[in-house]
Amino acid sequence: MRWTPGGRSDDVEDRRDEGGGGGGGFRIGGGLGLGGVLILLALSLIFHQNFFALLGGDGDGATGPGGGAASAPPRPSSPAEERTVQFVSFVLDDVQQTWTREFTEAGREYERAKLVLFTRETRSGCGVAESASGPFYCPTDRKVYIDLSFYDELRSRFGAPGDFAQAYVLAHEVGHHVQQLLGVGDQVRAAQRARPDKADALSVRLELQADCLAGIWAHSTNERRLLEAGDVDEALGAASAVGDDRIQKQEGRRVNPETWTHGSARQRSGWFRRGLESGRLQDCDTFRIALPGVEDRGPSRTR
């Protein structure tokens, strides 16, 4: 993908300094256990200095927007990691600029999402975010969460290398933000609560629509001649690699469409391609089309 390195998006929250901490137990502020808080309190009293300031906060457990740690300067990165941060910054801004134009043309206002970069574990409006869960969008705080180590896993475990494979993942998560702004996300979650037996089927439709929305952004990059040879294949490969059937096979389990929550490899790559070729929001209505292996149809607000 053609892009110019340099700078970070204003919509990126870098929490990689938090480090995750791991483990359970009672936790305060920046992840200290109760014992650690008591030690810092004792040192502060003995030396008449605010040792809590070492945490980057003011000692009262203050947090930043969305329940994250108070903002601190980004930690130094390796050259390779810094390039990845700059790349996801570029993609995030480009995806959101695309949706700003789409919403404006439709007479709507687009609200930009935030991207939280973390290591191992952090807090989100939807609970604890862990690397093991992979990238996700939280509708409560309207933020995308990703541990950059996922991109290594995307290449090594899922066999989906390439920068446009990485871009597809981020564009998919921003697609969930678009769904939230359109009201689709809330409608689907309400339908899932009303019909728990259909929750997975509705989830598949929601995820496939996000794949199609990622394709709409890819369509715009093609129009602007940002795509290079092999980029589309990288994105299609990534979409296929994270299909539920592929993952079930990889884990040695029986392929069972009734347990799918994201869709098959063929469905995921197919809906991404649909958005890529069409570039139109109305062509991403997964809730009005019969899908193989997916019975239920839910509400649609994409028109």
Residue 268 lies in a domain: yes
CB 159 within 8 A of CB 241: yes
* Residues ≥6 apart with Cβ < 8 Å to 248: 254, 255, 256, 259
Report if residue 149 sits inside a domain: yes
The structural domain count of the chain equals 1
Averaged pLDDT for residues 85-109: 97
Looking at residue 4, its pLDDT comes to 86
Q: Is residue 302, in this structure, part of any structural domain at all?
A: no
CB 167 within 8 A of CB 238: no
In a domain, 185, yes or no: yes
| pLDDT tens digits along 186-199 | 999 999 999 999 99
- pLDDT tens digits, 128-162: 999 988 999 999 999 999 999 999 999 999 999 99
Is 292 within a domain? no
State which residues form the domain around 157: 79-284
The structure's pTM equals 0.79
Residue 262 inside a domain? The answer is: yes
The predicted pLDDT at position 107 comes to: 96
pLDDT in tens, 105-114: 999 999 999 9
In the predicted model, is pLDDT for residue 63 greater than 50? no
Residue 87 lies in a domain: yes
3-state secondary structure at position 209? helix
- Reading the block at residue 105, the tokens are 């043309």
Domain-located, residue 13: no
pLDDT digits (tens, 9 = 90+) for 168-219: 999 999 999 999 999 999 999 999 999 999 999 999 999 999 999 999 999 9
